Structure 1
């Protein structure tokens, strides 16, 4: 039998209140439990004394027997000094899936194509602006030469 130390929800709708219970892992969240070892009231401010209360002796006893706390309860037990909890390290958890990576690659290609088209358009405008200036310059020089020769 796998034993867990976890939260069992109580309270009204939108007013949660949790009991910290020791239960068989196969039981439903709010179902039958072996022993109640504390409570957690998330509606209270974080610095309030009654927000979390755990019977540390009972918790330590159940952990020695092999009960596994859930992440949230493990944090409470760590704060109480009963259990050594470390934050899990799963660097691939936040990595996007294959479809999302494909969409990002397509989006990047479209943006690069737009940038290339915009750069070509700017070059064409610059060339068009430079071309009449070059054409006018020889005409001006020719007019200046005609004035000198006269």
Structure 2
């Protein structure tokens, strides 16, 4: 059974609240889970200690059993010091989109041609 430590969404519309759960990867996002490991409230300030609350003992247990955290949960674990920080590199995020690249090329061509007086 492929285990995941992931977020299960709760809360009402436009007021998200997440539970950090250990579940089978084949189950739906908000469906059946094996154990609730903590909570995440994105509406709280980033420096609030209640924003992410985890039972680290149980998280370590599931990690030792082979559970794989999702990207967001892995970041929570890195912030808590339970996992080593991984270097992330997304060079495409700094590249402008197609339309913006065309505009920049036109602007550069316009600036390169001599001013007609």
Q: TM-score, normalised by structure 2?
A: 0.79
CA apart distance, 1:92: 3.2
Tell me the equivalent position of 2:80.
Answer: 80
Tell me the equivalent position of 2:13.
Answer: 13
Unaligned 5+ segments in structure 1 are 123-150
Tell me the equivalent position of 1:95.
Answer: 95
How many residues get paired?
Answer: 117
CA displacement 1:15-49 (0-9 Å, x = unmatched): 11110001122222111112111011122222333
Higher relative contact order (CA 8 A, sep 6+): 2
Unaligned 5+ segments in structure 2 are none
Tell me the equivalent position of 2:66.
Answer: 66
CA displacement 1:77-127 (0-9 Å, x = unmatched): 122222223242232344356xx28x62x86358636864x63x32xxxxx
Q: Secondary structure at the match of 1:92?
A: helix
1:100-115 paired onto structure 2 within 5 Å: 100=98, 104=102, 108=105, 112=109
Change (3 A) 1:53 1:94: same
- Larger helix fraction of residues: 1
Structure ID, larger Rg = 1
Change (3 A) 1:92 1:110: closer
Change (3 A) 1:91 1:68: same
**Cα distance in 2 between the residues matched to 1:45 and 1:69:** 23
Change (3 A) 1:109 1:68: same
Q: State the superposition RMSD in angstroms.
A: 2.7
